[in-house]
Amino acid sequence: MSIFLGIDVGGSGIKGAPVDLTQGDFAADRLRIPTPAKSTPKNVAQVIGEIIEAFSDEIGDNPVGLTIPAPVVHGRVPFIANLDQKWAGLQADEYFEDALGRPITLVNDADAAGLAEVHFGAAKGHEGLVILTTLGTGIGSAIIYRGVLIPNAELGHVELAGYDAERRAASSIKDKEGLSYEEWATERLQPYYAHLEMLFSPDLFVVGGGVSKDWNQFGDLLNLKTEIIPAKLRNRAGIIGAALAAQDAQEHPDLQ
């Protein structure tokens, strides 16, 4: 069966949908449930269980893909910022498999978005080195080479003008400091992407996050050697990428 459930866990909402991975799109309408105010693994697991139950007929016994806003190292969460601190140090894959009674594949949320964009979105079929960044409250990132994810890249934390880059270039900073799109693009994004270009020599940048819908207001202001384009899948990317990760775990269990 090519339908896998992807669930995207965020600080404000937990969203899930079955994904038809032959088409790269939702097989049913997305279900969103607010993230519990006390976002412990136990409370989040209860919400995830509700979403799994809602789509149980569509997904059968397939594993479930789950994104979280943190690095995932062999199923373990080393640290967490936007959920309860009980997540920190948790062997989360085992915890959720025990709690939910089915195989669970965990993946960082930006990594999931990168996978989705390479397989079905803006970078579909790209054979080179792709760096996706999500510009939002912070900066998430994913590095993908010839379709293979290099996990847990935290490129929002490279140094830029003596700061973590996301403290200068995230879209939340544009809003907080009242920067125009021109100021943000030329003074913050340009040095950020130029720095990544120097470090990695990528073949393509893909820019995601909610602000990507306003690409025509800032994209042409960036002057880089590397092609840079907006993401296509937007708020569907995390769910689709989670489903892709679950399918990959089923097909290659020895690599997990």
Q: Are 66 and 4 in contact (CB under 8 A)?
A: no
CATH number, residue 26: 3.30.420.40
**From start to end of the chain, where are the E strands?**
3-9, 13-20, 25-26, 31-34, 64-68, 104-108, 129-135, 139-145, 148-150, 159-160, 163-164, 204-208, 227-230
Q: What is the pTM of this model?
A: 0.89
Residue of 121, 170, 166 whose CA lies nearest to 147: 121
pLDDT tens string for the chain (256 positions)? 589 999 999 888 999 999 999 999 999 999 999 999 999 999 999 999 999 999 999 999 899 999 999 999 999 999 998 899 999 999 999 999 999 999 999 999 999 999 999 999 999 989 999 999 999 888 999 999 998 899 999 999 999 889 999 999 999 999 999 999 999 999 999 999 999 999 999 999 999 988 999 999 999 999 999 999 999 998 899 999 999 999 988 887 665 5
What's the number of CA atoms in the CB half-sphere (13 Å) around residue 202? Answer: 25
Query: If you compute the radius of gyration of the chain from its CA atoms, what whole number of angstroms results?
Result: 18
Number of domains in the chain: 2
Task: Give residue 160's domain range.
Answer: 122-232
Residue 113 inside a domain? The answer is no
40 part of a folded domain: yes
The answer to whether residue 117 sits within a structural domain is: no
